[in-house]
Amino acid sequence: MANGKQQNAVPSPRIHQLSIQKVFDGLSQNERLYAHHMSRAAWHGTRIILRQVSPESLGIYDFIMELYTCCAGDWKSVANEVQITSNELYAFLEYAATFLSNIGNYYGSGDQKFVPNLNIESLKKLATKSPKLKALYDEIAEPMLSTPPFSLGYPGDLAQSAYYPGPCIISKDEIALVSQALEGRLVFPENTRIRRVESAGTTFEVLQASVEKDEISQEFPLPDSKGIVRMHRGDHSQELARICSSLAAASNYAANETQREFLAQYIESFQTGSLHAYRDSQRTWIRDKAPRVENIFGFVEPYRDPHGTRAEFEGLVAISDTEETKALTKLVENSATFIKKLPWAEGTKENDEKGPFEKALFEPPDFASIHTLAYCSSIIFPGINLPNYNDIRQECGFKNVIISNRMSAESKKGDVCPFIDESEAETFQKHKYPAYYWWVVLHELLGHGTGKMMVQESEHKYNFDISNPPINPLTGEPIKSYYAPGQTWTGQFGDLATTVDECRAELVGAYLMDDEDLLELFGYTDGSDITAEDLTYNVYLQLGVDGLRGLQNFNIDDGKWGQAHSRAHFAMLKCLLTDGGGFMTIECSPSEQRLLVRVDRSKVVTHGKPALGSMLLRLHMYRCTADVTECRKYYEELSRVDGEYLEWRKIVLAKNQPKWVFVQANTFLDGDEVTLKEYEPTIEGVVQSWAEREV
């Protein structure tokens, strides 16, 4: 499968089954019914995500589903009937499985377009199976097979974004102006898209996701008075109606009143388009402690919006594992101890030794190990911390989950990492999973869960002493900036918000991964099979590897990063290389197309950790004080790809490794009985699982 200009051939995907049968069998009949209807609600979001990815994604999805229907899953008969080779059929199925797993024709991780390793004539032959296929072929063939666009991003010659649909290109400045106009009217952007309309004047249509429709709900001028904004409700109306219907059905089997309350709030938000109702749902959802069946719904993550504020729909339904959660509970109970060891708390007695840039009370969050039953998203994350609204996190708390049956993919032996020396390859693989697991745990709990934003809440009300502002540890002077009323983290930091937030969380996890008391909680000491020092060393090796791998998601054509985490990982690598006193180096041999990460084990704590701590403190302070200017100056330089890094990128691309494709189960309702069906971890199994979802 190809994925655009200057990209080497992508190896066949590695397919991982998100196994769920064992934990599903432990549910009561009522819990199964709740899980089934919630899962149906999640999967009904598929077509919303497709519409958010690219203009052609819905048509490609329908083409794959129609072809499956025409042959009833008997793929060999298709090859014989339309006279294509088995290799050509395999190439199409490989593309189909990758497309379905990513819910669109751009990788969920990286946002790069991928196209099938199939010529247009073979695709045309497949389309002869039915009149519907022929009509879909005419619609999708050209955009499905062509590059550019190469990636998602601000609309232009090289990139596209379905958050800004239509033939009329909208500029960055225009997006910012419309966003400013929405913010001024307290309209949250997460469930919107913006379309530029050519008319007598400059008109921008804001498409708001809701079941209810109206031609124009509001009309107002842009801040510069050079155009108007028209609000249109009813985007994704049909899909949201199906989601609401399934949520209403699930409410009949809810375990408690809290679940019924947030389901009603979900429905109100999806019906009306109100994100104020959605924010209420998040406050209620946080109160649903330790549910047997957990969920995440809504327009959640803004990773794919180039402007950094509009969010992709997401639906997750999962089953908690009580035994696995016990180990996480231990960490949660001791959280306050480790927060005091973070750079902004070191050396202070204020706020119970946590300092002024940390919440006074760290409310122990709900932290569960869960197994996903239905995860409708372009990225299957290994861990999640929500809600994404920082004011709600500070006022009400948050939840963390580790998705165990997704994390298990990291324990697979797979290919040897090409960036680790052969002499270390075996031990790196042995230590990788436990190091990665606990790094993710710390990322979610103490990375996303810490910090206090300096906020002016109203005209004369602040959440800090404005007459005696706290001292900024970066400058030694009182803070000079903070969030004004109505301002938010994503609204102020825009395209930097998600990548800086993820980078900060990754840094917190890595920074603490040498703490002996912390590692002992996890069962790692000097005497364990994998020692505490082994685990720490592996994390730093992974920092180097992830930083190199991140380069594959940097687009040299427009100088933009395609993925928030990739940019964060590269910035961390660059920090360690430039500020780590030589403790980490990258050995590069262009002639042998080789890059190797070298870490001096003796300097991890003395040089590596201080470098990470310095970077972490900067990002934390920029974030807490709304200092966008300094953050942009620092982070853009640290994540700049030039000089030797461009040479490294070429080698990284030449070492392309298989990407994960996930196959998930389905539930079916027969009367009051719910049955579970799992599918083989094959490309055929992936396609069958989606066909049987009937969405």
- Write out the catalytic residue numbers: 444
d(Cα 412, Cα 429) in Å, to the nearest integer?
9
d(Cα 383, Cα 495) in Å, to the nearest integer?
22
For residue 675, list its beta bridge partners: 668
Contact 619, 504 (CB under 8 A): yes
d(Cα 387, Cα 299) in Å, to the nearest integer?
11
Helices (H), 551-627: 564-579, 609-624
d(Cα 665, Cα 686) in Å, to the nearest integer?
10
Contact 665, 25 (CB under 8 A): no
Number of alpha carbons in the 13 Å side-chain half-sphere of residue 19: 8
d(Cα 494, Cα 368) in Å, to the nearest integer?
31
Label residues 601-634 b or e (16+ Cβ within 10 Å = b). eebbeebbbbbbbebbbbbbbbbbbbbbeebbeb
Contact 164, 194 (CB under 8 A): yes
C-alpha dist (Å) from residue 38 to 3, 252, 571, 666? 34, 11, 39, 12
Nearest to 652 by CA among 54, 6, 211, 4: 6
DSSP per residue, 35-47? HHHHHHHHHTTHH
Q: At 82, which amino acid appears?
A: V
d(Cα 396, Cα 69) in Å, to the nearest integer?
48
Pairing of β 159-160 and β 461-462:
unpaired
Pairing of β 192-198 and β 560-561:
unpaired
Number of alpha carbons in the 13 Å side-chain half-sphere of residue 321: 19
d(Cα 358, Cα 344) in Å, to the nearest integer?
8
d(Cα 212, Cα 463) in Å, to the nearest integer?
38
Helices (H), 462-561: 489-493, 497-511, 516-521, 532-550
Pairing of β 202-209 and β 228-235:
parallel
First to last CA, the chain: 26
Handedness of CA 268, 274, 276, 278 (dihedral sign): positive
Q: With 0-12 CB in 10 A as exposed, 13-18 as middle and 19+ as buried, what is 67?
A: buried
Contact 631, 615 (CB under 8 A): no
